[in-house]
Copies of this chain bind each other. A is one copy, B any other.
């Protein structure tokens, strides 16, 4: 399996897809990580009136049209969730949610803003009982009691893995869910409010009505916030801080689309995908000259 690329693009909304098209046109060796084409947000849009080049297109047709264009250009989507990105100085290491590693010279972040607000206590206890990755940290909770908060059905697979390890799981699905067949998993239909700790470690997860004593909390979200995704990334409130060339504070790391700030518009996102890709190409050229 090829795991070494010039550029890794994370996200398959308009920004990530346009970045991929531009990298392809510039003959760059890249990988595009994402789930399906576009988010639910696009697919459910009734009618987009102001995307220049697409006359009165429905969100669904738009997503289909984008998918067709990627495919016609020979661009495949690598359907792996990225758990974390580490800048190693001269290159980036990308860890998937299933604990595989990829390497890229440059990274383009196009993950959108669909990552929710952190819970109270989440940041404080991150790495001290709070985890975003079942595969990476599950082993630390063998025969322990944990809470698993899952934001969408796609992340549910991780539950199976954790249920085979932990003694007891309080399961908080943030979407409608059927009964589950695990003996040690209890479905909690209330929303978590905060994460509490004792002696610098997670001790409980709290809802409006109850407190559940746990050794750890897994927060399994489709998209993590960029600051969690990329170690050391500068933010401006909820958005990644970028300049006009869409450079972040980390050399070789670019961001585009909704994640860089308003307006949350498809054509703005696509335009930024283009600029981020060109910036990455320029970075690679400079790197080759230096090497």
User: Which residues of A line the B interface, CB within 8 A?
Assistant: 14, 17-18, 21-22, 24-25, 49-56, 62, 65-66, 68-69, 72-73, 242-244, 260-263, 265, 267-275, 278
Contacts and interface: CB of A to CB of B under 8 A. Distances in A.
Copies in the complex: 2
A56 B24 CA distance: 13
A21 B52 CA distance: 7
Nearest to A70: B52
A73 B274 CA distance: 26
Given A14-B52, A243-B244, A244-B260, 20 more contacts: A18-B50, A21-B49, A22-B265, A24-B50, A25-B50, A52-B66, A52-B270, A53-B53, A54-B54, A54-B69, A55-B65, A55-B69, A56-B72, A244-B244, A263-B274, A267-B267, A267-B271, A267-B273, A268-B271, A268-B274
A69 B69 CA distance: 20
A235 B68 CA distance: 41
Nearest to A277: B50
**Lowest 3 CB-CB distances: which A-B pairs, in order?**
A271-B271, A21-B50, A18-B52
Contacts of A242: 244
A137 B101 CA distance: 68
B271 A274 contact: yes
B55 A72 contact: yes
A243 B261 CA distance: 13
24 contacts: A14-B52, A18-B52, A18-B267, A21-B50, A21-B51, A22-B50, A25-B49, A51-B53, A52-B270, A52-B273, A53-B53, A53-B54, A53-B66, A53-B69, A54-B54, A54-B69, A55-B68, A56-B72, A244-B261, A262-B278, A265-B275, A265-B278, A267-B267, A270-B271
